[in-house]
Amino acid sequence: MKNKIFLAAILITPILVLIVSSLYFTFGYSPEGTKNNGVFFNSYFNFDQFRQSEEKNLIDFEDGKWVMGVYITNPIKSSDSLYLMRQLNVALNRDIYRVKRVAFYSNLLLEDEVKKLISIYPRTELIIDESGRLLNTLQNNAQIDMYDENPIFIIDPYGRAVMYFSPGTDPKKILKDLKVLI
């Protein structure tokens, strides 16, 4: 008889946990905030909407890699972000090949400066956003001035913008977020 009661308690415990947690969540008792150190974009947007031409996407996500990106509007400020992206990529150790670094720009007047800057950071893909739509979308969905700050933002392997890191965020916290994401 004791074994039957013990067996019933073992079988009922997971069911009770599910019922109680569902009730808590239904009645509004849920976790507040997140443990992320980055800032989520205000609304969801996908990179498939940005095109260089009719048949070519701005960036391809066929390789299944996460993307760390910077939109270069000011080469001096973005050099800090590019340097941090390189350091984060190296610090990822064995996951280094699961992330690619991309720099976007649209101002053709800065083209020579941007190419010179990118030459300092090898293995960083440079993409021109001819229409500037990406910068406008980033600006509309961020809580900071993307044009002025040039922060690092993260794109998942499916082409969805996930989050960005405000300038001044501790690199160790950014690395912690990246390790969780990847």
Interval 120-158: pLDDT, tens = 998 899 998 888 888 999 999 999 988 888 899 999 998
* Residue type, position 162, single letter: V
Cβ(83)–Cβ(121) under 8 Å? yes
* pLDDT tens digits for range 22-62: 888 788 776 665 567 888 888 888 887 887 666 677 887 87
Nearest to residue 70, comparing CAs of 54, 59, 62, 56? 59
Whether the CA torsion 8, 13, 14, 18 is positive or negative: it is positive
Q: What is the length of the chain? A: 182
3-state secondary structure of 146: helix
What sections of the chain are H helices per DSSP? 2-26, 75-91, 111-120, 133-141, 146-149, 171-181
Helical axes 111-120 vs 75-91, angle rounded to 10°: 30
Could you confirm whether domain 39-181 is CATH 1.20.1630.10?
no
Q: Name the residue with higher pLDDT: 83 or 30.
A: 83
Enumerate the β-bridge partners of residue 62.
Answer: none
pTM, 2 dp: 0.76
What span, in angstroms and rounded, lies between the C-alpha atoms of 79 and 166?
Answer: 15
Whether the CA torsion 138, 118, 125, 167 is positive or negative: it is negative
Average pLDDT on 8-17 reads 92
